[in-house]
Structure 1
Amino acid sequence: MKELLHNTLMELLGMEVIEATPDKVVMTMPVDARTHQPMGLLHGGASVALAESAASLGSLLNVNTDEKTAVGLEINANHIRSARDGIVTAVATPVHRGATTLVWDIRITNERDQLICISRCTVAIIARKAKSESNSRK
């Protein structure tokens, strides 16, 4: 899994995959200068990035990646509680697994298991393009 995160936003924000199955993805992210907003609190966008990362990874585990890939289609988030430091943990579980979309429920908690953010993410399943085809469009 580490190589999947290499040179990505997930690596930059310090996200780590703790568990990854088609039925559940658990990821962590530090609350520090990389993920703070100017007031020193966890940035809502960082929470959304963690939520979508967990949902996208889970979606990839639900498809034949030789033929298909998963891309975020829609995400919403309710920020329930703030955090200034420590580690937050996202637990993503699928609520719908269709042929062209997956919908995920993601709950982000702090180290005291207090709810920080609740999110719902819809991921589209699309045909994987050959690398030579996608590079020819650039």
Structure 2
Amino acid sequence: MWQTPPNLAELNQVCDNTLVSHLGICFTAFTQDSLTATMPVAAITSQPFGLLHGGASAVLAETLGSVAGNLMVPEGRICVGQDIHASHLRSVSKGEVTGVASAIHIGGRSHVWAIDIYNEQQQLICSSRLTLAVIKRS
């Protein structure tokens, strides 16, 4: 499925000094049709009540879907976020969450990705859908 096979070390290095690294997001695995990353549940990713911030979950989802999408397009094209929807299903107050992005639709002008985020007990905490526009690299 991948146009460019994922290299986890390179993906993590490219994200240095960005929001991705600031939130502690780390790419950890990939399969033939998915990309996985983790994010800590800590002060930097929590809201004032000590729970994982929904916006942090959305950042993890958009990061996974966008990076996966960009690994799917031919040279000279890039994917950019166009729409994201996240349903927050369960709260998390400590540990680490894991997001898994899987393609729903890969087209020439758009992609749609499903990103599910799980707690350490493998319980679904957030289900997200991301639409990406495929554009020419400028």
Please give the TM-score of this superposition, normalised by the length of structure 1: 0.89
Count the aligned residue pairs. Answer: 128
Offset of 1:19 from its aligned partner?
Answer: 1.8
Q: Please point out which of 24, 27, 50 is paired with 1:14.
A: 24
Task: Kindly report the root-mean-square deviation, in angstroms, between the aligned alpha carbons of the 2 structures.
Answer: 1.1
Q: Deviations over 1:2-31 (max 9, x none)?
A: 221111110000000012467211010000
Q: 1:2 to 1:93 in 2, by over 3 A?
A: same
What one-letter code is carried by the residue in structure 2 that aligns with 1:4?
Answer: V
Q: Please point out which of 47, 65, 80 is paired with 1:71.
A: 80
Q: 1:59 to 1:22 in 2, by over 3 A?
A: farther
Q: Please point out which of 96, 113, 126 is paired with 2:122.
A: 113
Q: 1:81 to 1:40 in 2, by over 3 A?
A: same
Identity of aligned residues (%): 46
Kindly report structure 1 stretches of 4+ aligned residues shifted beyond 6 Å. Answer: none
Q: Unpaired segments of 5 or more residues in structure 2?
A: 1-10
After superposition, where does 1:43-58 map in structure 2 within 5 Å?
A: 43-58=53-68
Q: Please point out which of 2, 24, 41 is paired with 2:12.
A: 2
What one-letter code is carried by the residue in structure 2 that aligns with 1:79?
Answer: H
Please give the TM-score of this superposition, normalised by the length of structure 2: 0.89
